Structure 1
Amino acid sequence: MTNGRKTIGAKLSGLTITIAAAMVLSACSMAPKYQQPEVFSEDAQFRYNNTNHAQIRAYDLGWQAYFTDAQLKQLIGLALENNKDLRLAALNVESVEKQFRIQNSERFPGLNVNGSKNRSRSAADLRGQNSDAISQSYSVGLGVASFELDLWGKIKSLSDSALNQYFSSREARDAAQISLVATVAKAYYAERFANEAMKVSQGVMESREKSLRLASLRYQHGVSSKIDLRQAETLVESAKADYQAQLRAREQARNALVTLVGGNYPSQLAAASNLTQQFAYDSLPASLPSEMLLYRPDIRQAEYQLKSANADIGAARAAFFPSISLTGSIGSGSTSLDGLFTGPNRTWSFMPQISWPIFNWGATKAGLDLVKVRKEISIVNYEKAVQNAFQDVSDVLAANATLKAQYASQSKSTAAEVDRNRLMQMRHDRGITDSLALLDSQRQSYAAQMNLLAVQQQWLNSHVDLYRTLGGGLKAYSDGQVPTIQNSQP
Structure 2
Amino acid sequence: MTKTLITLAVTALLAGCSLAPTYERPAAPVTPAWPQGDAYQPTAAAADAKGAYEVQWREFIADEQLEKLVELALANNRDLRVSILNIEAARAQYGVQRADRVPNVNASVGQTAQRVPANSSATGEAYISRQYSAGLGIPSFELDFFGRVKNLSEAALQQYLGTEEARRSQQISLVAEVANAWLTLAADLERLRLAQDTLKSQQISYELSKRRFEAGATSGLDMYEAQTSVETARSDVAVYTAQVAADQNALALLAGAPVPAELLPQGALQSVTQLAELPEGVPSEVLQRRPDVLAAERTLQANNANIGVARAAFFPSISLTASAGAASGDLSNLFKAGAGTWSFIPQLTLPIFAGGRNQANLDLARANRDIALAQYEKAIQSAFREVSDALAQRGTIDERVASQAALVEASGKSYRIHEQRYQKGAESYLNALVSQRNLYAAQQTYISARLAKASNQVTLYKVLGGGWQ
TM-score (norm 1): 0.89
Q: What does residue 39 of structure 1 align with? A: 28
2:346 equivalent to 1:356: no
Alpha-carbon distance in structure 2 between the residues aligned to 1:343 and 1:245: 93
Instruction: Write the letter of the residue equivalent to 2:308.
Output: G
Q: Secondary structure at the match of 1:351?
A: strand
Following TM superposition, by how much is the alpha carbon of 1:285 offset from its aligned partner in structure 2, in angstroms? 3.6
Q: Secondary structure at the match of 2:210?
A: helix
Q: Which moved further from structure 2: 11-20 or 444-453?
A: 11-20
Q: What does residue 11 of structure 2 align with? A: 21
Alpha-carbon distance in structure 2 between the residues aligned to 1:277 and 1:103: 49
2:327 equivalent to 1:333: yes
Q: Which moved further from structure 2: 449-458 or 391-400?
A: 391-400
Go from structure 1 to structure 2 and tell me whether the alpha carbon gap of 1:198 and 1:267 turns closer, same or farther (over 3 Å shift). closer
Question: What fraction of aligned residue pairs are identical, expressed as a percent?
Answer: 38
Go from structure 1 to structure 2 and tell me whether the alpha carbon gap of 1:50 and 1:72 turns closer, same or farther (over 3 Å shift). farther
Residue correspondence of structure 1 range 180-329 to structure 2 within 5 A: 180-269=174-263, 272=266, 275-281=269-275, 283-285=277-279, 287-329=281-323
Alpha-carbon distance in structure 2 between the residues aligned to 1:466 and 1:151: 49
* Unpaired stretches in structure 2, ≥5 consecutive residues: none
Q: What does residue 2 of structure 2 align with? A: 12
Instruction: Write the letter of the residue equivalent to 1:33.
Output: T
2:88 pairs, out of 91, 94, 108, with 94
RMSD (CA atoms): 2.2
Q: What does residue 484 of structure 1 align with? A: none
Alpha-carbon distance in structure 1 between the residues aligned to 2:266 and 2:281: 32
Instruction: Write the letter of the residue equivalent to 1:415.
Output: E
Q: Which moved further from structure 2: 268-277 or 241-250?
A: 268-277
Contact residue 287 and residue 384 of structure 2 kept, 8 A: no
Q: Secondary structure at the match of 1:115?
A: strand
Q: What does residue 444 of structure 1 align with? A: 438
Instruction: Write the letter of the residue equivalent to 1:433.
Output: E
Contact residue 284 and residue 467 of structure 1 kept, 8 A: no
2:390 equivalent to 1:396: yes
Following TM superposition, by how much is the alpha carbon of 1:210 offset from its aligned partner in structure 2, in angstroms? 1.6
Alpha-carbon distance in structure 2 between the residues aligned to 1:424 and 1:446: 15
Contact residue 293 and residue 300 of structure 1 kept, 8 A: no
Contact residue 63 and residue 473 of structure 1 kept, 8 A: yes
Alpha-carbon distance in structure 2 between the residues aligned to 1:163 and 1:214: 76
* Unpaired stretches in structure 1, ≥5 consecutive residues: 1-10, 476-490
Following TM superposition, by how much is the alpha carbon of 1:161 offset from its aligned partner in structure 2, in angstroms? 0.8
Instruction: Write the letter of the residue equivalent to 2:19.
Output: M
Contact residue 177 and residue 473 of structure 1 kept, 8 A: no
Go from structure 1 to structure 2 and tell me whether the alpha carbon gap of 1:105 and 1:136 turns closer, same or farther (over 3 Å shift). same
Contact residue 32 and residue 314 of structure 1 kept, 8 A: yes
Q: Which moved further from structure 2: 324-333 or 16-25?
A: 16-25
Following TM superposition, by how much is the alpha carbon of 1:443 offset from its aligned partner in structure 2, in angstroms? 0.4
Alpha-carbon distance in structure 2 between the residues aligned to 1:389 and 1:351: 55
Go from structure 1 to structure 2 and tell me whether the alpha carbon gap of 1:298 and 1:363 turns closer, same or farther (over 3 Å shift). same
Instruction: Write the letter of the residue equivalent to 1:31.
Output: A
Q: What does residue 60 of structure 1 align with? A: 54
Q: Secondary structure at the match of 2:319?
A: strand
Q: Which moved further from structure 2: 70-79 or 123-132?
A: 123-132
Instruction: Write the letter of the residue equivalent to 2:443.
Output: Q
Deviations 1:138-179 (A, max 9, x none): 211111111011111111111111111111111111000000
Q: Which moved further from structure 2: 43-52 or 216-225?
A: 43-52
Instruction: Write the letter of the residue equivalent to 1:30.
Output: L
Deviations 1:221-251 (A, max 9, x none): 3333333333222221111111222112211
TM-score (norm 2): 0.93
Q: What does residue 168 of structure 1 align with? A: 162
Q: Which moved further from structure 2: 373-382 or 360-369?
A: 360-369
> How many aligned residue pairs are there?
464
